[in-house]
Copies of this chain bind each other. A is one copy, B any other.
């Protein structure tokens, strides 16, 4: 059985476990005020060429999203998000539970936003009987594997700054975005072009944890009280600092993300060669083959995967995901098995 269900179905990278074990007996100050978090935050500021940034270690993506958004916005302000944005469809109304409307915007299938798509929302919301859009939420990579180019993110960033919009980037799959072939950005580029973003740990080598980077100093104030209020302060906060330090201190984070991307790309290429088309051409660790329904029972025995949706009466879009821990052999094995079937 090959595992392609998602990128959070194994524990952490062995180096991370080792790092956690190494400090396990130490007495450390709580609530993220420790030296591991400090060192890790310094490392991230350096990596992002953003000495002014604050780095906040959060436990998970949903928590990072709603805590940041609620901290940044005033009550009458709203969020512009792709319809496919994780906050819009998969977080059980977490942003709305903090009191803010999400304005969903239809995008191309790659899930990417652009000024052209946002402009009509701004125009409509000039009517003061509506909320004031104030934050643009994007993901890199998107839910369908879309990766922003530097040109695209620059255009979006300039547009947001001109219109007083906060640009917030969900980086749950930051590693795979930045190691995909179409990427032409560094972490420093992301930091420069956004007002806040996060470096996802959960889906790339950590047990849990996202490193939220708030690059705009105007958005940083009293964030500790906010985190505490939203359950985002881990008593043993160093657990997060230790993990990010292990992942980032010598580039392990990007090395393992690259593995995930390469295996997925190998699998995508192989499937195409077998005549299986893709819903979208994804350059990341998530791929979306359109398979004949008759293949599904066989796939059920071969591998774990998720059904993404119906393509037509006879075909289904499935999602295959690789992670830092997926060996190339799994892709190979699956390809061979499918070839044998067809």
A residues engaging B (CB < 8 A)?
A: 3, 5-6, 8-12, 14, 17, 20-21, 23-31, 59-63, 66-67, 70-71, 74-78, 89-94, 96-102, 104, 127-132, 202-203, 207-208, 221-222, 224-226, 228-236, 239, 304, 325
Among A9, A92, A232: residue with most chain B CB under 10 A: A92
> Which of B100, B128, B225 makes the CB contact (< 8 A) with A76?
B225
Contact A60 B93 (CB under 8 A): no
Contact A10 B30 (CB under 8 A): no
Contact residues in B for A234 (Cβ distance below 8 Å): 59-60, 208
Closest 7 pairs between A and B when the two form their complex, measured CB to CB: A63-B231, A11-B24, A76-B225, A93-B101, A92-B228, A92-B229, A8-B235
Contact residues in B for A229 (Cβ distance below 8 Å): 62, 75-76, 91-94, 97, 131
A-B contact pairs, 26 of them (CB 8 A): A9-B29, A10-B25, A11-B23, A11-B24, A11-B25, A12-B24, A17-B20, A17-B24, A21-B21, A27-B304, A75-B98, A75-B229, A77-B222, A78-B93, A90-B129, A91-B129, A92-B226, A92-B228, A92-B229, A94-B229, A98-B99, A128-B224, A128-B228, A131-B229, A132-B222, A231-B232
Who on chain B is nearest to A25 by CB?
A: B10
Q: Tell me the complex Cα distance, A226–B325, Å.
A: 31
Contact residues in B for A235 (Cβ distance below 8 Å): 8, 60-61, 202-203, 208
Contact residues in B for A128 (Cβ distance below 8 Å): 92, 222, 224-225, 228
Contact residues in B for A230 (Cβ distance below 8 Å): 94, 97, 230-231
> Which of B62, B71, B101, B325 makes the CB contact (< 8 A) with A231?
B62
Question: Closest approach, in angstroms, between the C-beta of A156 and any C-beta of chain B?
Answer: 23
Contact residues in B for A99 (Cβ distance below 8 Å): 93, 96-99
Contact A27 B12 (CB under 8 A): no
- Known pairs A27-B3, A93-B229; A208 contacts B236 (CB<8 A): yes
Contact B60 A231 (CB under 8 A): yes
> Which of B17, B28, B67 makes the CB contact (< 8 A) with A21?
B17
> Which of B60, B104, B130, B226 makes the CB contact (< 8 A) with A89?
B130
Contact residues in B for A10 (Cβ distance below 8 Å): 24-28
Q: Tell me the complex Cα distance, A91–B230, Å.
A: 9
Q: Tell me the complex Cα distance, A99–B71, Å.
A: 12
Contact A30 B8 (CB under 8 A): yes
Contact residues in B for A3 (Cβ distance below 8 Å): 27
> Which of B78, B89, B97 makes the CB contact (< 8 A) with A75?
B97
Who on chain B is nearest to A71 by CB?
A: B75
Question: Closest approach, in angstroms, between the C-beta of A165 and any C-beta of chain B?
Answer: 14
Q: Tell me the complex Cα distance, A46–B180, Å.
A: 49
- Known pairs A24-B17, A93-B101, A231-B232; A225 contacts B131 (CB<8 A): yes
Q: Tell me the complex Cα distance, A74–B128, Å.
A: 21
Contact B11 A26 (CB under 8 A): yes
Contact residues in B for A61 (Cβ distance below 8 Å): 235
- Known pairs A11-B25, A21-B21; A66 contacts B208 (CB<8 A): no
Contact residues in B for A222 (Cβ distance below 8 Å): 74, 76-77, 128, 132
